[in-house]
Every structure is written in structure tokens, then in C-alpha cells.
Amino acid sequence: MNTLMNEELQDFIQKYDLYGCVQCGRCTGGCPVTVRTNLNVRRFVYNSLDQSMLEDLAKLPEIWDCTACNTCAVRCPKGLKPVEVLMGLRNILVVDQGVVQPTVRDALESVFLEGNPWSKPRKTRSDWMEGLEVRIAEPGEKVENLIFVCCTVAYDPRVQILAKNLVKLLNKAGVDYGFVGDDEACCASEVHHLGEEDLFMEMVEGNTELLNEFNAERIVTISPHCFSTFKNQYPSLKPKVIHYTQLIAELLEAQKLSFDREFSGKIVFHDPCFLGKQNGVFDEPRAILKQIPGVEVVEFERKRERSLCCEGGGGKMWVETESKKERLAETRARDAGELGADILAVACPFCVLTLDDAIKAKGLEEQLRVAEILEIIGDLVE
Amino acid sequence: MNNKPKIGVYVCHCGVNIARTVDVEAVREFASRLPNVKVVRNYAYMCSDPGQLLIRDDVEKEGLNRIVVASCSPRMHENTFRKTLAAAGLNPYYLEMANIREQCSWVHEDREEATAKAKKLVYAAVAKARLLEPLYEKEVEVEPASLVIGGGIAGIQAALDIANAGFKVYLVEKTPSVGGRMSQLDKTFPTLDCSACILTPKMVDVANHPNIELLAYSQVEDISGYVGNFDVKVRKKARYVDVDKCTGCGICAEECRLKGRIPSEFDMGMGKRSAIYLPFPQAVPAKYTIDPERCLYLTRGKCGKSPKCADACTAGAINFEQQDEIVEFKVGTVIVATGFDTFDPTRKPEYGYADYDNVLTGLELERLVSASGPTGGNIVLGEGENAFVPKDIAFIKCVGSRDKSVGNEYCSRVCCMYTAKLAHLVEEKIPGANVRIYYMDVRAFGKGFEEFYDRVRREGIRYIRGNPSEIFKRGDKLVIKVEDTLAATPLEDEVDMVVLAVGLEPRKDAREIIDILRLSQSADRFYLEAHPKLAPVDTATDGVFLAGCAQGPKDIPDTVAQAKGAASSALVLLSSGKVKIQAQISFINENTCRGCGYCVEICPYGAIELVTISRMGNPVQVGRVNEALCKGCGACAAACFSGSAQQKSFMDRQILPQIAVLGVMR
Ligand SMILES: Cc1cc2nc3c(=O)[nH]c(=O)nc-3n(C[C@H](O)[C@H](O)[C@H](O)COP(=O)(O)OP(=O)(O)OC[C@H]3O[C@@H](n4cnc5c(N)ncnc54)[C@H](O)[C@@H]3O)c2cc1C
Ligand code: SF4
Ligand code: SF4
């Protein structure tokens, strides 16, 4: 049954500039998941031109294999965003056809009701702060750095340490900062990637209003996903948005922060797609790591613009890819192992979760651990 | 002449183009009642011979002294009717046109309204025609010499053509030798002629031609003046070698303490040269040059006990005291043939060019396959013990072309063909090599191109349709991440060598010439021609022409054709010896000018300068228009605060009554 209006279909072509595609294949050529799934994003761009096929395309399982790493969009020579075509198809499936997997439904409902996708109560969002000396920003009052925590960091015990360590570093460096606090709600990056465009727009509106009320010079995010979403998908957000690695690199550079302990080991840094590829932040995380006394920083073969996605984004926390082939995160862990690294460093809570699992799956726990930069440096400061 | 206006108005039907929508008879009737109008006629085609004859007869019989033609756009037929007036013995600038076609009949449907508007336009034209003044075109002499900037194949060809026609040419080349990019190529598509073999004779001709003064290792510093009369200032950089003494023997380079230590620009950094060098064996002029940024003596004031080159030179040509020299001369025309740069692939970091030695550009491979190149024409990668001959070789096309992500939307026009050529040469030099070409389209549009492409494929070169996305290394192999789009199969293709078919870009120093000549750039940032079809070698500045890749990417056949076009355009001016300059230009009333200089800034042609005059014994600054440079665009007149800048035929007192009519009449 055709649930879409003809106009909507026409808009689909316009919205994603489908006629602009020259079928060069750079999108699919660069897509990291092609080594383990059937996803061929170029063919979705091509086939979407046939309006009568859209609804069937939306039902193909591989549209859920996309990790939203954005490689396809970065590489496209004609300025298309093939990844968004997949998100558009997810939207058709989820919103227009109402076909939603239970895990996805729970996540979306939780964002709608509790402001986070983890089915946790809104009122416990700031529980991680207990016992810490945390400054909360007041609407209207001037603050240089408004800190946005991220749902995953706020609730997931594995990564709450990121927020705690950031507080420690900020206090130590005497930074003018304030956390958003209890009213903080999901940036909705994953809502967009799960295809619920209406809810996404609603969240954008609400968050824009909330964040603009603070008199902040800039917003500092812990997760690159919030960073990228605020930066690229919140057109009316007033303050500038930066990632915490940019702030820390700045503090080290200005000598407002320094490391008291050393770490004598090998660290390899994995570029999170939402930080590096999508927003060009490559140097700051490396600058931070290189200042650790005693450290040896090594590089992956596939680094910076050529970094390999860990498959943590694009809603993949809630949708499993059916494939027997090695996960990309496992490839990454294996490569880090071969480099002889002691720490596989990341700057993203999702990367922590996917790579943690990968190291276990590969049985590398003995020689290698995953650590977020905030975890690493939090320990090196008194 | 009795100057009381006697106006003739001629309303054209333009077949049915005007008459279908505008009631031309009503317009005629209306015009006959306007002040100063003596004769009104309408006619099917005013531009035809009989139409023009009507005007001539009326001037003679009725003593008309102003003509209004209500017809098409003045862009179409203003010149036609000006000639009619001249033939009738009237000053051609006593013509005013009312555009009742493009601005009326073609854009309206309602006949009544269109007719009313046509009347209004005719009335306005009549209002202005009463106030027209006669204008006279001036002629200036053309200096019988030409400046050619850039000594690539474009500049060489243009210089030779002009010189062969008997005119003096100054050929200015920035580097120590002429030849440009073509001198770096091994063979040339589609015929596979050896590049040096066809180019070198022309380079030698340039050096020996009695009419050509070759200023190599030189730079244009300033050009002023206007068509026919450009004053040029050129800086001849010090070579620290007396060219009259240097025999080109090369002993100096052999002896240089830095021999084999400096990356050779000609060999794309893969070969090494000395601090005193000849860029390549066939260089013209065959004179050595000391690299002032590398030479030990010039940078540190000391080279061992004494500079070895000077010790070795038996001709005594080395001169460390040499200074830059400024040369000044006058020319009538200028040809800009400054060429291109290749795209810098580090701007596409996904291809790993900066990280991997075995990822090369097409131009680098040209040097590797060239017998005069750093490896003597053997395709060998790596050095010493690690040297090896690659077997699996992939080309990637469209690197830096047709690519919004690096801001180059255009097609570079040569990469498809040079890729085919290089693939053929690789296959020839490495028996058993597996060569594949990754592409998104193959553009083989030129003469003999498609045939060449067919030939190369049949030699066993695989064309795989897909534009690669990424290159990384796995063990010793380079891995190309790409989709074979025809098979809809993502691949990780493992190869030994990748060649990036880098596109052509405007030179990084393109601004220098823009600033000197006030050239414009098109959206692709190459120099802009006056009209893409009908004036492809002209620029907005009269007497300045474009040739070769400076105007846009092109192959050698097109470059040479365009160079010949530019030369012939220059020769039209040089051989006629005179050039007419615009009559409807601006002038500045020096009595009222306040000298603010706003017009000087706004003039796109640099035609106005501030001069000091005496006003009641006091020195004051006023703007003054250079009549030869002014194109009559009127920007100054629009900008002037005091109304001192006025444009002839469009003076305030002429156009305000015209505008008033349009404004008040229903
Ligand atoms: C890898 C590669 C392979 C190619 N193979 C072929 C082929 O096989 N067949 C073919 O037909 N075409 C080929 N081409 C295209 C060919 O190189 C060009 O068509 C040709 O070189 C254009 O000549 P040009 O004189 O316009 O520019 P250029 O060759 O760039 O010459 C410009 C000259 O101007 C000089 N110059 C620049 N600025 C100034 C200044 N301000 N003052 C003074 N001098 C200045 C430069 O030093 C240079 O000498 C190839 C191109 C590339 C990149
Ligand atoms: S990279 Fe862009 S132009 Fe090329 S096939 Fe994909 S969407 Fe089309
Ligand atoms: S966003 Fe990444 S995973 Fe998704 S289609 Fe594009 S390249 Fe593939």
C-alpha cells in the first residue's frame, strides 16, 4: 500500500539532490561497512530516483547497517549526502510505515519521555555529580564554557568517569565553566539516525531554546556526536560549539593545565568519525596525548581522514548488523594489538563501548585496554 | 548646422515580432504629436536596406537632424543605424533607440498595455533625442610590438607567429628556460610523438628569431597605458652568470659542492641538481643559473675556500655581484600565456599521497617514463636495496577535477587522455604489468582521441568504472578502496603503485598578472575571456589577449590553436597600426570636481586618475579620465557625488528628461 504522497516522493529527490549524482561510486567505495554487509549506498541513491521503489527500499534490512560515519558524504564529489538518503528511508519505514524494531521503539520513546535513549529517568541525569564540586550554569548569567554532558556519559557507568574527570580538570585549570545540569536533554543525534525525523526536529527546537537561554560564549561537549549534531544540525544555536579535546588542548597550550604523573607506555589514537572525518578535529587529541610525560604515541595505518569507523554511530547501539564477518571495531583492536599499543585511546563514549567489546572478543584484554582521553589524563593530574 | 531639433521617428514592425503585440499605427500617430517631431513612419523591417533608405531620404528632403528608431535592442542594431546616419551626412551619435521589442512586445501579452508602454518608450527617446550632441571617434597609433607573458607552448607559438609577421615580440618567461609543462612530458597523446622532439625546435626558433627578444628568468612588474600604447616594466632576475660569456658547457654544475643534493623542479623533485643548474638538457636559453636560495656562497657568503663553480668556469662567466635589471619598453598588445599548475593531491588526504611514496601524480610518472628523467626512463620505485619494478599498477582519474569537495567543479580535459597515454607507456615498459584505470567517465572528444582510447584498451589495459575513495597500506601493498560500479561490487584492490591523474588548476601566483593587468577570473578561477564563444581569446581590456591553459585547461592542440588565435588578434591591431577609441566615454568637469577619488576606486578599467590642477591659483586635486582606457560603462558618473563625472550621450541633463517622461506619463 502506498502510504506516501506523491509530493513527499518528489521532495525526496529534491531534498537529497538525487539528480546531482553521477554514479561514480566514491560513496560505496569509501563506505567502511561494505567489507561485512550488503549495504551499497550508491545503489540506494540510484534506486531512490524511481519513486515507486522508495517504500520497498525502506524495507531492505541493510539500510540499518549504516553507521552514519559520513565517509560517503565527505567523499562525494558532487556534494550529495548519501548517508542522509538512508536516514530518509529509515524515516519512511519508522514514521510513514510505522515499522519499528522494539529496541528502537524503546530508545525513541525514552528520548520523548525522559530526554535520553537509555530508558533512564530524567531526574537521575545528574546523579553522577554526587560528591563532586560541580559548577552548574544559570540561565542568563555569563559563562565562558557551557558543558554538555551527553546521555551515554550521564547514565552509563562505564563512561561516567569522563564527566567526573572533566570536572576535575576544569576545576584544576580554573576554567570559567558551568554544566547545563538537570534540564539537559538528548542532542537527538541518534533520533535522527533512527529515522524519527519529527521527534528530532522537536528536540532540536527544545534544545536550541534551552541552550540559547544561557549566556554562554561556547558550548563544550564531551561526545563528538553531540558536538557534530549541534554544529551541523542546529541552525539557530547561538554559541559556538567545540569538543572537549579542543578545550583541553587549549588549556595545555596556555599552560593552565599540566600533567603531574607520567605514563610510560604506547598509546594509539583512534579518530572518532564524528570528530575527525566529519568535523576536521584531528590535531587536538594528538596534541593532548603527546604532552603526557613518558608516553609514546603511535599511529594506525588508517588514521585521520582515512580512519576506520568503529560502527558505534548511526543508531547501531540499538540495531545489530547480521554478519559473520569481523566487526570493524575488532579489526581496529587487532591492528592496535599488532602495533604493540598498551592503550587504544579514543575521544568518544560510543567508541569506548564498541572497542571495549572488540578487545574482549579478540581476547586482547591482557595486553591492551581502551581508554577515553579523559580517562587517561584524569589519572595523570593531582 | 541649424541646431533646432527636427526629429524623425521610425517605428518598426519587426515582421510580426512587434506588430503582433503593439499597435504600431497607434504609436506612429502618437509620436507625430510630440514636440520637435517632424516625420514619423512605420515600416516592416527598419534594418533592411529600404528601411534605412527611408531615413536617408527624409534627412535629405525634410532636413531632419535627430533620429529615433523604435525597434529592437540597441545591442542588435545601434551600429546599423549609426552607419545610416553617417551615410545621410548626420553625426552618428544623433541617434536614439527605443527598444519596443525586448523591453515591450516580447515580454507582454496584453496588446493595449503593450501599445501604451511602447508609446511611453518612444516619448522618452524623443525627449532625450532633442538633447543629443554630436560625438567624434578618435584614433590612436599602435606601437608595432607585442608582449607575450609566459614561455610555454602557448607563449612560444604566439611569439613565433607575431614575429614571423614582422613585428617585434618581447617574450617574458619566469623560469630560467622556456618550454613550460610540455617540456616535462615524455610522449604526447594521441599520436605519441616525443614531446621534446616537437617542442625543442620551436624553443630554439624563439631564441634565434631576429624579432624576438627573449627575457627568460624575468617577471613583469608593471604595465600601464592602454590598447596600442602599453608601457611595460620587466625585472630580469640576476642569474649570477654572465649570459654573454656562459657557453653552457656545464662544468660548473659538475663541480658544485651541492651537486646531486637539490631536488630538481623539472624532475618533480625525483631527480637532483646542483645549486648552479640548467633546468633540463634542452633548456633555452642554454645558460646556467645560480639558485640564490640554495647556493652556499649567496646564502652564507662562503663556499669552502672559494666557490667551486667560479673556479671551474673557464669562460669566467660566474658573477656573484650581478644585480636584478629593470627593462622598460612599449608595446601595442599583450598576450597572457602563463599556463597552469597541477592539482596538489595532499588536498585529498584520503589518497595518502603525502604518506606513501608509491602514490605518484601523472606528471611525476611522465618524468619516470622519460628517457631524460631521473631513472633514465625505467619505472623503478624505491631506492637502493629496496628498489623494485611495480607489477600491479592502478590509475585514478579525476583527482582534483569534477570535484566539489575540493572546489573544482570543472573537467580538466587532459587527464583522461594522458592517463591512457601513460598506461600505454607503462604497459610497454613493464612487460606483464597489470594496469587498470579507475574512472567515472572517459572523455575522448578530440581528433584521434577515441581511436587512441580503443587502442589502449585492446592492449590489455582494464578500465574499471568506479572512482576510488581511499588508499591505505596493508603489508607492502597499497589497498584501493573502490566500488566497481558496473558490477556493483565494492573492492579492496591491492597494487604496487597508484598514479593519480591530477587535474589542472590556475597557477598559485595567478594573482600577480591579475593585479598588473586587471584581468577577471571565471568561476573556475582561470582568466576570463571576453565572451565564451565569440571572443574566446579577448579580455575585457582592449589589446590584451589570452592563450593556452591560463584561460582554462586544454591539451596541446587546443593550446596551439588558441595561441595562434591570440597572435592573429594581436596582429589585427599591430598591422592596421591604428585603433579607434570609444566616443561615448566619460569626462570629468574639473571646475566642479571635489577630488574625492571615489571614481578612481570604482572604475573597473583603471581609466581615472587624480591629477593636480590650479584652481584660482590654488593647487587642487581632480579626477581625469584617460580617454583610451575608458569603456563608457558609466560607473563613475553613477558614483560621483558632485555630478562632475558625466558620460557622453548619457549626461544627467540628457537622461533626466527621458526618465521624467517614463515616470509621469500614464
Ligand atoms: C601530466 C600531464 C600530461 C600531459 N600530457 C599531454 C599530452 O600527452 N598531449 C597534450 O596535448 N597535452 C598534454 N598535457 C597538457 C599540456 O601540458 C598543456 O596543454 C600545455 O602544457 C599548455 O601549455 P601552456 O603554454 O598554456 O602552459 P604551461 O605549459 O604551463 O606554460 C606556461 C609558462 O608560463 C610561465 N609563466 C607562468 N607565469 C608567469 C609569469 N607571471 N611571468 C612569466 N612567465 C610565467 C611558466 O613558467 C611556463 O613556462 C598534459 C598535462 C599534464 C599535467
Ligand atoms: S559519491 Fe556522490 S556522486 Fe558518486 S555515486 Fe555516491 S552519491 Fe553519487
Ligand atoms: S555513513 Fe558511513 S556507513 Fe553509512 S553509508 Fe555512508 S559511508 Fe557507509
Closest residue, chain A, to B403 (C-alpha): A77
Query: What span, in angstroms and rounded, lies between the C-alpha atoms of B523 and B625?
Result: 31
Closest residue, chain B, to A29 (C-alpha): B482
Identify the residue among B350, B353, B438, B493 best suited for mutation to test binding to A, counting A beta carbons within 10 A and taking the highest: B350
Examine the pLDDT at A125 and tell me if it is beyond 60.
yes
Confirm or reject: Cβ of A48 under 6 Å from ligand 3.
no
The full DSSP string for A228-253 is HHHHHH-TT--SEEEEHHHHHHHHHH
Percent of chain A at pLDDT above 70? 98
Say how many C-beta atoms besides its own lie within 10 A of residue B471's C-beta.
26
pLDDT of residue B494: 98
Asked whether the beta carbons of residue A77 and residue B402 sit closer than 8 angstroms, the reply is: yes
**A363 min Cα distance to partner chain B (Å):** 23
Measured CA to CA in angstroms, residue B506 lies from A241, B218, B397, B485, B510 at distances of: 35, 20, 19, 32, 7
Q: Which of residues 403-422 of B touch A (CB under 8 A)?
A: 403-405
pLDDT of residue B1: 47
DSSP summary character for residue A92: I
Rounded-to-10 torsion of CA A166, A171, A175, A177: 70
Same domain for B484 and B373, yes or no, is yes
User: φ, ψ for residue B621 (rounded to 5)?
Assistant: -95, 135
Nearest to A75 among B469, B472, B490 (CB): B469
Cβ atoms of A91 and A100 within 8 Å: the answer is no
Asked whether the beta carbons of residue A29 and residue B404 sit closer than 8 angstroms, the reply is: no
Q: Of B471, B505, B539, which one is at a domain's C-terminal end? A: B505
Residues of A in contact with B485 (CB under 8 A): 23-25, 28, 42
Query: What span, in angstroms and rounded, lies between the C-alpha atoms of B2 and B6?
Result: 10
Confirm or reject: Cβ of A82 under 6 Å from ligand 3.
yes
Write down the residue that cell numbers 503593439 correspond to: B22
Write down the residue that cell numbers 561537549 correspond to: A221
Rounded-to-10 torsion of CA A127, A132, A137, A143: -140
Cβ atoms of B428 and B441 within 8 Å: the answer is no
Q: Which of B95, B64, B57, B55 is nearest to B77 (CA)?
A: B95
Q: What is the mean pLDDT of residues A273-290?
A: 98
Query: What span, in angstroms and rounded, lies between the C-alpha atoms of B204 and A241?
Result: 61
CATH number, residue B618 = 3.30.70.20
Asked whether the beta carbons of residue A29 and residue B352 sit closer than 8 angstroms, the reply is: no
pTM metric for this prediction = 0.88
Same domain for B296 and B351, yes or no, is no
Q: Which residues lie closer than 8 Å to B44 by C-beta, 6 or more apart? A: B12, B13, B15, B51
Question: What is the side-by-side strand order in the sheet with B229-236?
Answer: B218-226, B229-236, B325-331
Considering every ligand atom, which ligand is closest to the CA of A78? 2
B305 shares contact with chain A (CB less than 8 Å):
no
- The widest CA-to-CA distance across chain A, in whole angstroms, is 66
Q: Which of B462, B452, B445 is nearest to B411 (CA)?
A: B445
Q: Which residues lie closer than 8 Å to B514 by C-beta, 6 or more apart? A: B520, B521, B527
How many domains does the structure of chain B reveal?
A: 5
Q: Which of B436, B482, B642, B526 is nearest to B154 (CA)?
A: B526
Residue A369: pLDDT band (50, 70, 90) is: very high
Asked whether the beta carbons of residue A304 and residue B483 sit closer than 8 angstroms, the reply is: no
Same domain for B428 and B561, yes or no, is no
Say how many C-beta atoms besides its own lie within 10 A of residue B321's C-beta.
6
Asked whether the beta carbons of residue A35 and residue B492 sit closer than 8 angstroms, the reply is: yes
**B347 min Cα distance to partner chain A (Å):** 11
Q: Of B83, B102, B135, which one is at a domain's C-terminal end? A: B135
Identify the residue among A17, A21, A22, A24 best suited for mutation to test binding to B, counting B beta carbons within 10 A and taking the highest: A24
DSSP summary character for residue A117: T
Cβ atoms of A193 and A68 within 8 Å: the answer is yes
Percent of chain B at pLDDT above 70? 99
What is the rounded average pLDDT for all residues in chain A?
95
Low-confidence ranges of chain B (pLDDT < 70): 1-2, 664-666
Cβ atoms of A153 and A160 within 8 Å: the answer is yes
Q: Which three cell numbers stand for residue B210?
A: 631576429
- Determine the structural domain holding residue B564 and report its residue range: 145-237+324-339+506-578
Number of continuous H segments (helices) and E segments (strands) in chain A? 17, 8
Same domain for B356 and B268, yes or no, is no
Query: What span, in angstroms and rounded, lies between the C-alpha atoms of B180 and B478?
Result: 32
Same domain for B367 and B392, yes or no, is yes
Nearest to A26 among B441, B467, B484 (CB): B467
Whether residue B656 lies inside any domain: the answer is no
Instruction: Kindly list the protein residues whose Cβ atom lies closer than 6 A to any atom of ligand 1.
Output: B 149-155, 172-175, 180-182, 185, 188-189, 219-220, 337-340, 342, 362-363, 366, 414, 418, 421, 507, 512-513, 548-549, 554-557, 559
DSSP summary character for residue B408: B
Pocket probe mutation, ligand 1, options B218, B555, B562, max atoms within 8 Å of Cβ: B555
DSSP summary character for residue A61: G
pLDDT of residue A2: 54
CATH number, residue B569 = 3.50.50.60
Q: ipTM score here?
A: 0.94
Closest residue to atom 3 of ligand 3, CA basis: A66
Quote the ligand 3 centre to A241 CA distance (angstroms): 24
Asked whether the beta carbons of residue B350 and residue A30 sit closer than 8 angstroms, the reply is: yes
Same domain for B397 and B534, yes or no, is no
Confirm or reject: Cβ of A10 under 6 Å from ligand 2.
no
pLDDT of residue B666: 45
Nearest to A30 among B402, B403, B470 (CB): B470
pLDDT of residue A3: 57
Same domain for B126 and B154, yes or no, is no
Query: What span, in angstroms and rounded, lies between the C-alpha atoms of A188 and A198?
Result: 11
Query: What span, in angstroms and rounded, lies between the C-alpha atoms of B532 and B536?
Result: 5
Write down the residue that cell numbers 518608450 correspond to: B121
Examine the pLDDT at A5 and tell me if it is beyond 80.
no
DSSP summary character for residue B450: H
Cβ atoms of B496 and B480 within 8 Å: the answer is no
**Which domains occur in chain A, in start order?**
6-96 (1.10.1060.10), 103-251 (3.40.50.1860), 258-378 (3.40.50)
Closest residue, chain B, to A78 (C-alpha): B404
Q: What is the mean pLDDT of residues A282-297?
A: 98
Q: Which of B515, B511, B480 is nearest to B495 (CA)?
A: B480
Same domain for B216 and B92, yes or no, is no
Measured CA to CA in angstroms, residue A371 lies from A268, A347, B511 at distances of: 10, 8, 49
Q: How far apart are the first and last CA of chain B?
A: 35
Q: Which of A169, A368, A373, A378 is nearest to A289 (CA)?
A: A373
Asked whether the beta carbons of residue A306 and residue B470 sit closer than 8 angstroms, the reply is: yes
Query: What span, in angstroms and rounded, lies between the C-alpha atoms of B35 and B130?
Result: 9
Amino acid in the structure at residue A25:
G
pLDDT tens for A161-191 read 999 999 999 999 999 999 999 899 999 999 9
B475 shares contact with chain A (CB less than 8 Å):
no
Identify the residue among B343, B410, B467, B472 best suited for mutation to test binding to A, counting A beta carbons within 10 A and taking the highest: B467
Whether residue B570 lies inside any domain: the answer is yes
- The widest CA-to-CA distance across chain B, in whole angstroms, is 99
Query: What span, in angstroms and rounded, lies between the C-alpha atoms of B90 and B67?
Result: 9
Number of continuous H segments (helices) and E segments (strands) in chain B? 17, 34
Query: What span, in angstroms and rounded, lies between the C-alpha atoms of B550 and B559?
Result: 10
Closest residue to atom 7 of ligand 1, CA basis: B188
Asked whether the beta carbons of residue B488 and residue A40 sit closer than 8 angstroms, the reply is: yes
Query: What span, in angstroms and rounded, lies between the C-alpha atoms of B194 and B185?
Result: 8
Whether residue B659 lies inside any domain: the answer is no
pLDDT of residue A1: 44
Q: Which residue(s) pair with A218 in the sheet?
A: A145, A240
Query: What span, in angstroms and rounded, lies between the C-alpha atoms of B405 and B410?
Result: 12
Q: What is the mean pLDDT of residues A233-243?
A: 97
Quote the ligand 1 centre to B184 CA distance (angstroms): 9
Q: Which residues lie closer than 8 Å to B284 by C-beta, 6 or more apart? A: B177, B178, B179, B200, B203, B204, B206, B207, B214, B216
The minimum-distance atom of ligand 3 relative to the CA of A71 is 7
Same domain for B32 and B110, yes or no, is yes
Same domain for B129 and B153, yes or no, is no
Q: What is the mean pLDDT of residues A303-317?
A: 95
User: φ, ψ for residue B570 (rounded to 5)?
Assistant: -65, -40
The full DSSP string for A259-280 is -SS---SEEEEPPPTTTTTTT-
Residues of B in contact with A77 (CB under 8 A): 398, 402-405, 467
Q: Which three cell numbers stand for residue A29?
A: 567505495
The minimum-distance atom of ligand 1 relative to the CA of B179 is 49
pLDDT tens for B605-648 read 889 999 999 999 999 999 999 988 898 999 999 999 999 999 99
Cβ atoms of A380 and A259 within 8 Å: the answer is yes
The CB-side HSE value for B165 (13 A sphere, CA atoms) comes to: 21
Same domain for B567 and B592, yes or no, is no
Quote the ligand 2 centre to B443 CA distance (angstroms): 19
Residues of A in contact with B503 (CB under 8 A): none
Q: Of B454, B479, B505, which one is at a domain's C-terminal end? A: B505
Nearest to A28 among B404, B490, B492 (CB): B490
Measured CA to CA in angstroms, residue B491 lies from A273, B135, B464, B482 at distances of: 22, 72, 11, 5
Q: Which three cell numbers stand for residue B420?
A: 591512457
Q: What is the mean pLDDT of residues A108-115?
A: 97
Same domain for B544 and B568, yes or no, is yes
pLDDT of residue A4: 61
Q: Which three cell numbers stand for residue B83?
A: 552607419
Whether residue B467 lies inside any domain: the answer is yes
Q: Which residues lie closer than 8 Å to B95 by C-beta, 6 or more apart? A: B67, B68, B69, B78, B81, B82, B85, B132
The minimum-distance atom of ligand 1 relative to the CA of B156 is 25
Whether residue B243 lies inside any domain: the answer is no
